[in-house]
Structure 1
């Protein structure tokens, strides 16, 4: 189960996709640090009021029912449907992912300040392991079992000890 903060991170990033541009679930996942299937799941359950039509699969395609609903939005934004009728040419309409990631980092700093306590500094391999798992706050860390975090590639006992102390000082604990 994803934390409210992880869902907020995905939805914040979707809000930043520029008009007339699209990204794939994988593009979003790579920026947030989660898998494309998780992004798709969040979008299916939390996208009301968002520009969901700017998020496609890796080929720029959408399922038929979504594509039918996306067509008016795409037409309004100048996104053309491919000849095969399944979506758009993502290579032609993909957002600048570097600019999107930069805008996301700026915006998410405010969200993290509102919704969570940033994880403490650990070794670079451990920090990379946490980022790859989509863990940016102690609250998100508390949704994990200690053994599962230790199993992350790059996480060592010393870094885990730092995280133990940080959780305890924040009044949090490991899951289960």
Structure 2
């Protein structure tokens, strides 16, 4: 299912555009969870009034909807900066994401010796971005 319906070629749903715009705001070396992005967008909807809160053509959703948008449309934005809350790297994209994290200096936790894949996880305490402009540099 493509989810495009009657849309013109290349046109994104409004909610997808909003999710991708948030992904582009996340500074290098930082991450937001799917839930963080959903909360950010819900906050925007509250700021915009009742029409945005009830959908109003803008659309609101939770972490699963954010994940769906990223899976379908996220290839053109820094997709590796929108992550799972547990810090586990995106299954099937671990090595690609890891290369980005290392290039950007994103805080990582060493994989446990008992971990099968020996793939590190994100250090969510240090890597998570709260959306404040003054919080762009990873500690």
TM-score range, shorter chain: 0.5 to 0.7
**C-alpha displacement at 1:87, in angstroms?**
2.1
2:69 pairs, out of 34, 38, 42, with 42
2:76 is paired with a residue whose SS is: coil
TM-score w.r.t. length of structure 1:
0.52
Compare the two structures and name the one with the higher helix fraction. Answer: 1
Distance in 2 separating the partners of 1:80 and 1:95: 12
> Any conservation in 2 of the 1:63–1:86 contact (CA below 8 Å)?
no
**C-alpha displacement at 1:4, in angstroms?**
1.1
1:65 is paired with a residue whose SS is: coil
Distance in 2 separating the partners of 1:64 and 1:36: 17
Q: Which has the larger radius of gyration?
A: 1
Consecutive unaligned residues of structure 1, counting only runs of 5 or more, are 101-176
1:65 pairs, out of 92, 95, 102, with 92
Consecutive unaligned residues of structure 2, counting only runs of 5 or more, are 5-11, 43-60, 112-118, 134-139
TM-score w.r.t. length of structure 2:
0.64
Higher relative contact order (CA 8 A, sep 6+): 2
Distance in 1 separating the partners of 2:15 and 2:32: 18
CA RMSD of aligned residues (A): 1.9
Distance in 2 separating the partners of 1:68 and 1:9: 27
1:59 is paired with a residue whose SS is: coil
Number of residues of Structure 1 aligned to a counterpart in Structure 2: 99
State how 1:9-28 maps to structure 2 within 5 Å: 9-28=18-37
2:75 is paired with a residue whose SS is: coil
